[in-house]
C-alpha cells in the first residue's frame, strides 16, 4: 500500500519529542495519515530548504571518549519455503570491551515482523521503538497493518535526513507480507537511507564468515529444522572468527506469526 496520500491529514513532527505542527485537509473523511518525520540538528524545517550549503556539524568532535567505540556483531536473515529465519549473536562490544554478553539483537516489532539490529546500540533501540510506534499508529488509523515493504520505505525515509551524521543503524526487517501474496519478506535498511530487498542478508563484522556457511547450505527446499540448524551454525561459526561476536545465538522463525526458537 503506498505511503503517499495527498488527501489525508498530514502531521509533520520535528525531532523534538512532543511539539508538532499540523497541516489539515477536509478531504478523505478526516482520516489522518500521521508519520514521524525527524530532522537532523543541522537541517532546515521540512517546508524550507535554502539553496546555500550549511557546513557539517562538528559537535561530535567535542565529545571526549575514553576509547574508540568499535562496533561489531553478527546478524542474519534468510527466506526458505517454510517462512523466514532471523538469527543473531548476543554480545555487545565497546572497543575491546565485552559490554554485555546477553543483548537481544532481534526485536519483535509486530505480530508479523521482527528486526535484526547492527550498529550503535542506543541508535538501534531508538529507531526500533520509533518504527514500532509508527506501524501501530498506522494500524489504528487505517484498520489494516502496514506492509513490510511499506514499513521499510517509511524507515528509510525517516533515516535519510541523518545521512553523514554519527547515527549508526543497520536494520534487517524480517517479516511475513500478506500484501505480497502471503510470503516471507526480507529488507535491509541502513542509516544513510539505503533500502535493499533480497532473499538472504547478513550484517555486521562477522557477516563474511556467516555468508560462507549460508552460501554452502542455503536452499529453498530446507525444512524448518534444517533452516534453524543452518542459521545457528552460521552465527556460531562467525563467533569463532570475529572477536566482536559471541556468547549465545538468538533465533526467530517468522510465518504469519512470529515464533522464537
What are the catalytic residues?
73
What's the DSSP call for residue 190?
E
Angle at CA 198, nearest 5°, toward 104 and 204? Answer: 40
Q: 148 with 185: CB under 8 angstroms?
A: yes
Which residues fall within 8 angstroms of residue 102, CB to CB, at 6 or more apart? 90, 247, 248
Neighbours of 66 (CB within 10 A): 7
Angle at CA 193, nearest 5°, toward 92 and 154? Answer: 100
Task: Round to whole Å and give the CA distance between 21 and 8.
Answer: 15
Amino acid at each position: 500500500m503506498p505511503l503517499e496520500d495527498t488527501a489525508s491529514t498530514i502531521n509533520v513532527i520535528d525531532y523534538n519529542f512532543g511539539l508538532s505542527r499540523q497541516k489539515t485537509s477536509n478531504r478523505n473523511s478526516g482520516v489522518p495519515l500521521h508519520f514521524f518525520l525527524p530532522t537532523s540538528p543541522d537541517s532546515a524545517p521540512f517546508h524550507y530548504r535554502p539553496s546555500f550549503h550549511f557546513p557539517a556539524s562538528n559537535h561530535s568532535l567535542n565529545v571526549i571518549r575514553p576509547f574508540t567505540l568499535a562496533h561489531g556483531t553478527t546478524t542474519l536473515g534468510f527466506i526458505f519455503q517454510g517462512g523466514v529465519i532471523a538469527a543473531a549473536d548476543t554480545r555487545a562490544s565497546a572497543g575491546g570491551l565485552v559490554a554485555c554478553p546477553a543483548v537481544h539483537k532481534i526485536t519483535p516489532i509486530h505480530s508479523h515482523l521482527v528486526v535484526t539490529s547492527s550498529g550503535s546500540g542506543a541508535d538501534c533501540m531508538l529507531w526500533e521503538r520509533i518504527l514500532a510506534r509508527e506501524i501501530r499508529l498506522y494500524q489504528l488509523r487505517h484498520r489494516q497493518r502496514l506492509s513490510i515493504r511499506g514499513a521499510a520505505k517509511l524507515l528509510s525515509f525517516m533515516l535519510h535526513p541523518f545521512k553523514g551524521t554519527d547515527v549508526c543503524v543497520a536494520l534487517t526487517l524480517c517479516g511475513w507480507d500478506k500484501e505480497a501474496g502471503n510470503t516471507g519478506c526480507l529488507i535491509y535498511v541502513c542509516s544513510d537511507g539505503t533500502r535493499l530487498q533480497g532473499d538472504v542478508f547478513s550484517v555486521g563484522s562477522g557477516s563474511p564468515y556467516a555468508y560462507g556457511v549460508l552460501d554452502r547450505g542455503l536452499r529453498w527446499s530446507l525444512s524448518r529444522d534444517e533452516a534453524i540448524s543452518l542459521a545457528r551454525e552460521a552465527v556460531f561459526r562467525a563467533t569463532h572468527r570475529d572477536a566482536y561476536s559471541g556468547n549465545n545465538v538468538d533465533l526467530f522463525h517468522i510465518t504469519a506469526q512470529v515464533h522464537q526458537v
